[in-house]
Amino acid sequence: MSRERWDAVDRYIGDMLVGHDEALERALISSAEAGLPAIAVSPPQGKMLHLLARIHGAKSILELGTLGGYSTIWLARALEPEGHLVTLEVEPSYARLATGNLERAGVADRVEQRVGPALASMRSLLDEGAGPFDLIFIDADKPTTPDYFELALELSRPGGVILTDNVVRDGEIADPASEDPRVVGMRRLHELIAVETARGHVSATTIQTVGSKGYDGFTLALVLAG
Ligand code: SAH
Ligand code: DHB
Ligand code: MG
What string of H, E and C letters represents the secondary structure of the chain? CCHHHHHHHHHHHHHHHHCCCHHHHHHHHHHHHCCCCCCCCCHHHHHHHHHHHHHCCCCEEEEECCCCCHHHHHHHCCCCCCCEEEEEECCHHHHHHHHHHHHHCCCHHHEEEEECCHHHHHHHHHHCCCCCEEEEEECCCCCCHHHHHHHHHHCEEEEEEEEEECCCHHHHHHCCCCCCHHHHHHHHHHHHHHHHHHCCCEEEEEEEEEECCEEEEEEEEEECCC
pLDDT at 225: 83
**Contact between 32 and 62 (Cβ < 8 Å):** no
Residue 65 beta carbon below 6 angstroms from any ligand 1 atom: yes
Domain ranges of the chain: 3-223
Neighbours of 191 (CB within 10 A): 11
Residues with CB in 5 Å of ion ligand 3: 139, 165-166
pLDDT at 55: 98
Residue 202 beta carbon below 6 angstroms from any ligand 1 atom: no
What's the 226 CA to ligand 1 centre distance in angstroms?
A: 30
Closest atom of ligand 1 relative to the 88 alpha carbon = 24
Closest atom of ligand 2 relative to the 67 alpha carbon = 6
Report which of 92, 87, 74, 73 is spatially closest to residue 34, judged by C-alpha positions: 92
Closest atom of ligand 2 relative to the 140 alpha carbon = 6
Tell me, what amino acid is at 138?
A: I
pLDDT at 226: 63
Tell the CATH superfamily of the 3-223 domain.
Vaccinia Virus protein VP39 (3.40.50.150)
pTM of the model: 0.98
| Closest C-alpha to ligand 1, atom 19 | 141
Find all residues with CB under 8 Å of 22, minimum gap 6, and list them. none
What's the 167 CA to ligand 2 centre distance in angstroms?
A: 10
What's the 213 CA to ligand 3 centre distance in angstroms?
A: 9
Q: Could you read off the pLDDT of 10-51 as tens digits, one per residue?
A: 999 999 999 999 999 999 999 999 999 999 999 999 999 999
Mutate to test the pocket of ligand 1, among 141, 148, 151, 213 (most ligand atoms within 8 A of CB): 141
Task: Give how far the C-alpha of residue 125 lies from the chain's centroid of Cα atoms, to the nearest Å.
Answer: 18
What's the 86 CA to ligand 1 centre distance in angstroms?
A: 13
Residues of the chain with pLDDT under 70: 1, 226
Residue 39 beta carbon below 6 angstroms from any ligand 1 atom: yes
Residue 140 beta carbon below 6 angstroms from any ligand 1 atom: yes
What's the 183 CA to ligand 3 centre distance in angstroms?
A: 13
Question: Which residues have any ligand 2 atom within 6 Å of their CB?
Answer: 39, 65, 139, 165-166
